[in-house]
A and B are shown apart, each in its own frame.
Chain A
Amino acid sequence: MTVTVYVPRDTTALALGADRVAIRLQRGAKARDVEINLVRNGSRGLFYLEPLIEIDTPEGRVAFGPVTPGDVDALLEAGLLEGRQDHPLALGLTEEIAYLKRQQRLTFSRIGITDPVSIEDYTALRGFEGLKKTLALDSQAVVDEVKTSGLRGRGGAAFPTGIKWQTVHDQPPGQKYVVCNADEGDSGTFADRLVMECDPYMLIEGMTIAGLAVGADQGYIYLRSEYPLAHAILDEAIERAVAAGYLGDNILDSGRAFHLEVRLGAGAYICGEETSLLESLEGKRGLVRAKPPLPAIEGLFGRPTVVNNVLSLAAVPFILDQGGQTYADYGLGRSRGTLAIQLAGNVRCGGLVELAFGTNLRELMEGFGGGTLSGRPLKAVQVGGPLGAYLPESQWDHPVDYEGFAAFGGVVGHGGVVMFDDTVDMGDQARFAMEFCSVESCGKCTPCRIGAVRGVEVIDRIRAGESFDKNLALLTDLCDTMVDGSLCAMGGMTPFPVQSVMQHFPDDLTPRQAVTAGGTTC
């Protein structure tokens, strides 16, 4: 009998040795004369258990993890291929793992289950059903369905996706574009990567639906160059989708066309800003454009363009398949549907947690994350990427939703949650926020370009104890100038982490020499 064994092949599983685990498994099975069908699936997003290998059994898939190459022989000895659960790394049925079972996976319903590039696997789990329904609807009905869902841009700005689509839809006929922002540059985020590496057809389907809805026949995925594996998988998936008639001049014999191409970025964080991204796609320096005009009216090559984040587009197939109302039934207030939370940094159980909006941070970091990896007390958490505020413990009980977070100066952003233990020096973190901006600023507007450099300098002076009070006042003023005067969110939000350190962790900004010497501050 052939045993089916799953060894994930996303970036994290590979970074932890999944390829070598797979090779050891093949060798071990051969030595035991057992035939195995080795499937390189995507990751379930339970990164603390990677490499997480699974075996098909009559009861369902059973899991083992985290498996190092050195564990493989002992696992085989303990009856891995018979699905026996005697080894200490045995985790039981995958679907029953509490971390996974407690989630509400609407967008990420297939990741880790399927072979990412298998169209058969995708369609077996309702893949392309949303596209089929779209082809039977007129374009306004498709836009209306997305509006009903209440979906808001998952890239960070949270603009209603349906309204953006309506604007492009309402432009006169002619060349229009769908651009997927896959420049996932925020530290602590990997949900876009998981979509592209583990369920690429979902993104392809979402973009095709967007194209049909707004009247665009060309799509581009602007992918960051730091994701070479996602690039390879997307290219393969697009090629297969074209061959199978899901993309191209005649989608599923409907007579309607949509073409899709991956374009690589080149290591510029700012190109995650949509107008900078469009400049880059056009082949220019990624300088931010002033808005208006909105990209929906004058976007790529001056034509009406939908620019959506990977996760926004990935939510669309579910919405068209199951109905916008079904999606909207999840969530809280004006934040409808689910949010892909990414637990990262100093976390014991890091990974992807997809839940309806409304869970609080403490539950996520402790209930799911299991506290810090180091075992030390949590000190701060940065939500929403490098431009998000550092939140102290007093803010961990707020429910995670766009309005709720905005009310206290927090940013949900792309859903990244980066945890820090009590060894972190928040002064270093504040300085890094400014340093990062000075490296990544596009340079178009002065508050961001000059402000970030001056920010690093003034923080250094504060920490050296040089005119402490005066320089602290100067930093406050500088932050206000950047927030109010910058052209885009890069300069406009870089002060958020800095201000949060000033407000909640002021002791970490006091002169270091005085503190280490045990003396009083100046």
Chain B
Amino acid sequence: MSQTPSPVADAWTPAQIQAVIDAHRERPGAMLPTLHALQDRFGFIPEAAVPMIADALRHTRAEVHGIISFYHHFRTHPAGRNVVQICRAEACQSVGSRQLEAHAKKALGIDYHQTTPDHELTLEPVYCLGNCACGPSIRVNDDVYGRMTPERFDQLTDELSATVVEVK
């Protein structure tokens, strides 16, 4: 499976942000598509984008901030090179996700919404990946893995840290 690490953080300029906003501003209900495009492009939504979005979409800065913070998906700080999400929902709980999440936090030495000091991994909770018959499930960037065990989790995270782009 392919691993698509997050884009390199901090690589943005106001002109690049403006270009992304301009590509979406005319769409009906442009806010979410714009925010997604910014995060897809830069890995997060830079603070500097907030007044620019507000201006383009005729909102106040407070409103834009309110929208960004409402949605769990959007982040305002760079994530690690890989984002690992652990499903916390009931179907995965029934097959051991509580133990898996405890193990993951301990093994990585971080809690949810935190990044390892080497910026390799960001750990996040997620509520359902739609793989509920074969849990516990985790998502690494855009790939879902089922029947996850603490051992396989360690193996997977070791592989992520050891290689830049993994080709199987």
Cross-chain contact B67 with A283 (CB below 8 angstroms): yes
A48 within 8 A of B: yes
Q: Which A residues are in CB contact (< 8 Å) with B1?
A: 14, 19-20
Residue of A nearest to B66 (CB): A285
**Option from B30, B35, B94 in Cβ contact (under 8 Å) with A346:** B94
Residue of A nearest to B89 (CB): A187
Q: Which B residues are in CB contact (< 8 Å) with A19?
A: 1
Interface of B is mostly: loop
Q: Which B residues are in CB contact (< 8 Å) with A432?
A: 90, 93
A280 within 8 A of B: yes
Cross-chain contact B94 with A421 (CB below 8 angstroms): yes
A424 within 8 A of B: yes
Cross-chain contact A283 with B90 (CB below 8 angstroms): no
Cross-chain contact B132 with A342 (CB below 8 angstroms): yes
- From B31, B139, B146, name the one whose CB has the most chain A CB atoms within 10 angstroms: B146
Residue of A nearest to B144 (CB): A15
Q: Which A residues are in CB contact (< 8 Å) with B70?
A: 268, 285-286, 442
Q: Which B residues are in CB contact (< 8 Å) with A186?
A: 128
* CB contact list, A238-276 vs B, under 8 A: 263-269
Residue ranges of B at the interface with A (Cβ–Cβ < 8 Å): 1, 28-33, 35-36, 57, 66-67, 70-74, 89-95, 98, 126-135, 137, 139, 142-147, 168
A318 within 8 A of B: no
Q: Which B residues are in CB contact (< 8 Å) with A436?
A: 89, 127
Q: Which B residues are in CB contact (< 8 Å) with A419?
A: 94
* Given contact pairs A187-B92, A342-B132, A439-B127, a sample of 11 additional A-B residue pairs in the complex whose CB atoms are under 8 Å apart: A185-B127, A189-B130, A189-B132, A190-B133, A225-B73, A265-B32, A267-B126, A268-B73, A301-B28, A424-B94, A429-B93
* CB contact list, A45-67 vs B, under 8 A: 47-48, 50
- Shortest distance between the CB of B152 and any CB in chain A (Å): 11
A170 within 8 A of B: no
Cross-chain contact A373 with B127 (CB below 8 angstroms): no
Q: Which A residues are in CB contact (< 8 Å) with B128?
A: 184-187, 189, 226
- Report how far A47 CA is from B92 CA in the complex, Å: 15
**Option from A11, A264, A386, A439 in Cβ contact (under 8 Å) with B131:** A11
Cross-chain contact A12 with B67 (CB below 8 angstroms): no
* CB contact list, A185-231 vs B, under 8 A: 185-190, 193, 225-229
- Residue pairs across A and B with CB atoms within 8 Å: the count is 157
Q: Which 8 A/B pairs are nearest by Cβ-Cβ distance? A: A350-B133, A283-B31, A187-B89, A266-B71, A344-B132, A267-B73, A267-B72, A266-B73
What would 15 A/B residue contacts be, using CB atoms closer than 8 Å? A14-B143, A15-B145, A185-B128, A187-B90, A225-B73, A263-B29, A264-B36, A345-B94, A346-B94, A350-B132, A373-B95, A418-B94, A421-B94, A432-B90, A442-B70
- Shortest distance between the CB of B130 and any CB in chain A (Å): 4
- Shortest distance between the CB of B26 and any CB in chain A (Å): 13
Q: Could you tell me how many residues of chain A have their Cβ less than 8 Å away from some Cβ of chain B?
A: 64
Cross-chain contact B71 with A267 (CB below 8 angstroms): yes
Residue of B nearest to A390 (CB): B90
Cross-chain contact B57 with A283 (CB below 8 angstroms): yes
A86 within 8 A of B: no
Cross-chain contact B72 with A266 (CB below 8 angstroms): yes
**Option from A16, A282, A345 in Cβ contact (under 8 Å) with B90:** A345
Q: Which A residues are in CB contact (< 8 Å) with B32?
A: 263-266, 280-281, 283
Q: Which A residues are in CB contact (< 8 Å) with B139?
A: 226
Cross-chain contact A187 with B137 (CB below 8 angstroms): no
Cross-chain contact A350 with B73 (CB below 8 angstroms): no
A308 within 8 A of B: no
Q: Which B residues are in CB contact (< 8 Å) with A264?
A: 32-33, 36
Residue of B nearest to A189 (CB): B132
Residue of B nearest to A379 (CB): B94
Cross-chain contact A284 with B67 (CB below 8 angstroms): yes
A347 within 8 A of B: yes
- Report how far A20 CA is from B71 CA in the complex, Å: 34
- Report how far A291 CA is from B67 CA in the complex, Å: 22
A343 within 8 A of B: yes
Cross-chain contact B146 with A12 (CB below 8 angstroms): yes
Q: Which A residues are in CB contact (< 8 Å) with B67?
A: 283-285
Residue of B nearest to A16 (CB): B146
- Report how far A440 CA is from B74 CA in the complex, Å: 15
- Report how far A416 CA is from B168 CA in the complex, Å: 34
**Option from A226, A267, A344 in Cβ contact (under 8 Å) with B91:** A344
- Report how far A374 CA is from B147 CA in the complex, Å: 13
- Shortest distance between the CB of B70 and any CB in chain A (Å): 4
Q: Which A residues are in CB contact (< 8 Å) with B73?
A: 225, 265-268
Q: Which A residues are in CB contact (< 8 Å) with B71?
A: 265-268, 286
Contacts A264-B36, A268-B71, A436-B127; A12 near B90 (Cβ below 8 A): no
A351 within 8 A of B: yes
Q: Which B residues are in CB contact (< 8 Å) with A14?
A: 1, 143-144
Cross-chain contact B29 with A281 (CB below 8 angstroms): yes
A305 within 8 A of B: no
A309 within 8 A of B: no
- Report how far A227 CA is from B129 CA in the complex, Å: 7
Q: Which A residues are in CB contact (< 8 Å) with B28?
A: 301
Q: Which B residues are in CB contact (< 8 Å) with A285?
A: 66-67, 70
- Report how far A419 CA is from B134 CA in the complex, Å: 12
Contacts A283-B31, A421-B94; A12 near B66 (Cβ below 8 A): no
Contacts A19-B1, A432-B93, A440-B127; A416 near B74 (Cβ below 8 A): no
